[in-house]
Amino acid sequence: MNYEEFFTNRSTSEISKDLLGRTLSFNNGNELLSGTMVEAEAYVGVKDRAAHSYGGRRSQANEGLYRPGGSLYIYSQRQYFFFDVACQAEGEPQGVLIRAIDPLTGIDTMIKNRNGKTGPLLTNGPGKMMQAFGITSRKWDLARLEDSPFDIDINHKRKIEKITALPRVGINQSDPKWAKKKLRFIVAGNPYVSDIKKKDVKKNHGFI
């Protein structure tokens, strides 16, 4: 299976869930920075009031969502950057936002990139994760995943005890229907999930 097949062969929600337990890595030219994806958020296109493509909005800023599945949509808010992968066929603007990783390699470099932050604060949010990777621009926006320094291991994944579906974070409450939709998927018990409570953290990080 290639990236385009992986990101187009089922619903965006199913793709988001299937990404959990897989490795996301970034090659900075000197070393590989990587982690296991533990939180992913689905955005399901023109009907989704929380999606950047809601109502068919299309601009240079969100063009990545309209590209074929497996294309990168990297966007910025304030000083942070966010890693989103387009899902579905070209012209169907859906995507998955990777919100958190459980670090695997290049951790010392990630700590430096995060100005000394360690533990869950290193990568427990989408902006933090990209800062840990050293991403400071939208340079790779619109690139195909296979043509970028990013990689997602679609051939292997860690076994997960339980995946939990939750409402997405920071969604406009003026539309309760979409604010409450459970389109954020997490590895239950993983300390790097962005809003997990300490009492819910498991020693095995939610993996078998």
What is this structure's pTM? Answer: 0.97
Q: Of all residues in the chain, what percent carry a pLDDT higher than 90?
A: 91
Mean pLDDT over 32-47 rounds to 97
User: Class for domain 1-198, per CATH?
Assistant: alpha beta
Cα–Cα distance measured from residue 152 to residue 136, given in angstroms and rounded to the nearest whole number: 20
pLDDT in tens, 40-55: 999 999 999 999 999 9
Residue 173 has pLDDT above 70, yes or no: no
Q: What is the pLDDT of residues 85-124, one digit of tens each?
A: 999 999 999 999 999 999 999 999 999 999 999 999 999 9
Place of tokens 């990080």: 205
Instruction: Label residue 116 exposed, middle or buried (CB < 10 Å: 0-12, 13-18, 19+).
Output: exposed
